[in-house]
Amino acid sequence: MRELYPEIEPYRSERLQVDAIHELHIEECGNPDGLPVLFLHGGPGAGVSPYHRRFFDPARYRIVLFDQRGAGRSTPAAELRENTTWHLVADIEKIRAHLGIERWVVFGGSWGSTLALAYAQTHPAPVLGLVLRGIFLGRDFELRWFNELDGGARYIFPERWARYLAYIPPQEHDNLTEAYWRRLDSDDPQVRLAAALAWSDWEGGSTTLVHDPDGADTREEPQVAINVSRNEAHYFRNRVFLQPDQLLRGVERIRHIPATIVHGRYDIICPVASAIDLAQAWPEAELRIVLAGHSAADPAIVDALVAATDALADRLA
């Protein structure tokens, strides 16, 4: 089993103003003369973490990471104005131009896989290769699977679901995403925070293969919980700003790009059916379904992702 590369610090961190509202945090790690790779974090709204740098051989890759609009160290925090999938796609191109990178590998997991596909289908020419984990295509069944009563995740994690559901009065159970959104968008900061923590307890604690139904969630820090929950509810209630099946229909534009799709068989947040649907539309891509949940930190996911980035470095160097 491959493990993450050793911890590494950025050799450059900077800010990039992308419009009148948003300023993004960007960092670069590894080899400044190496193969460029862009890491796209999940959420939306989760931001980058130090361990995200470690999926790539630092001797061979120039690793670029950034916090998307309203996420992490980008400012304003949890800001949803001018914050859509297509604003983020445009930001990626601005970052590429700003850094003077002609072509790069794109790596994204969960929501990051959605954004990677949207970016590559819009701008295929700069994309040398794709590594995609925990596929989320933004389709209606995926949006409802994890957050609504007619989804399936509640039957697998019933203890956590009971807490998520109990936060919302029964008369609002027909659309839980909207019910949470009303509270996450409240003018009362205490209402916002309580909703964010309830949302995060459901999602943040449901990512790993080994699951403790009463364990602490992974986003207890208040600002992180607010960033993630507000961004996610905003995107989900707007169907992640995609047309039905858009990312599957757009595969024709990227079938020539080397790609690896990695998905946990027991991923409860993003059902494995989405990875299979993507692979059926894209037979040239390598599909690896492994014994894992959703988390990129699950050992089998780490093994498959590091193998994929090593193989791309071998192929493209």
Judged by average pLDDT, the poorest of 22-31, 111-120, 166-175, 196-205 is: 196-205
How much is the pLDDT for 217?
A: 56
Mean predicted confidence (pLDDT) in 183-205: 93
Please check whether residue 4 is in contact with residue 54, taking contact to mean a CB–CB distance below 8 angstroms: yes
Q: Which pTM was predicted?
A: 0.96
The answer, yes or no, to whether residue 215 has pLDDT greater than 90, is no
| Distance, CA of 271 to CA of 294 (rounded, Å) | 9
Helix (H) or strand (E) holding 264: strand 259-264
Q: Sketch the domain layout of the chain as residue ranges.
A: 12-140+241-316, 143-239
| Distance, CA of 158 to CA of 34 (rounded, Å) | 46
How much is the pLDDT for 182?
A: 98
Catalytic residue ranges: 110, 267, 294
Q: Which of 119, 118, 129 is nearest to 259 (CA)?
A: 129
Q: Which of 130, 84, 13, 112 is nearest to 242 (CA)?
A: 84
Please check whether residue 237 is in contact with residue 127, taking contact to mean a CB–CB distance below 8 angstroms: no
Give residue 139's pLDDT band: very low, low, confident or very high (50, 70, 90): very high
How much is the pLDDT for 216?
A: 62
Architecture of domain 12-140+241-316: 3-Layer(aba) Sandwich (3.40)
| Distance, CA of 196 to CA of 179 (rounded, Å) | 12
Mean predicted confidence (pLDDT) in 94-101: 98
How much is the pLDDT for 79?
A: 97
Mean predicted confidence (pLDDT) in 99-119: 98
For residue 44, whether the previous peptide bond is cis, meaning omega lies within 30 degrees of 0, is yes
The answer, yes or no, to whether residue 289 has pLDDT greater than 80, is yes
% of the chain exceeding 90 in pLDDT: 93
Q: Which of 69, 294, 274, 299 is nearest to 203 (CA)?
A: 294
Judged by average pLDDT, the poorest of 35-39, 49-53, 205-209, 258-262 is: 205-209
Give residue 219's pLDDT band: very low, low, confident or very high (50, 70, 90): low
The answer, yes or no, to whether residue 38 has pLDDT greater than 80, is yes
Q: Which of 299, 296, 297, 306 is nearest to 57 (CA)?
A: 306
The mean of the pLDDT values for the chain is: 96
**Model pLDDT for residues 122-133, shown as the tens digit of each residue:** 999 999 999 999
Please check whether residue 274 is in contact with residue 138, taking contact to mean a CB–CB distance below 8 angstroms: no
The answer, yes or no, to whether residue 290 has pLDDT greater than 60, is yes
| Distance, CA of 25 to CA of 14 (rounded, Å) | 6
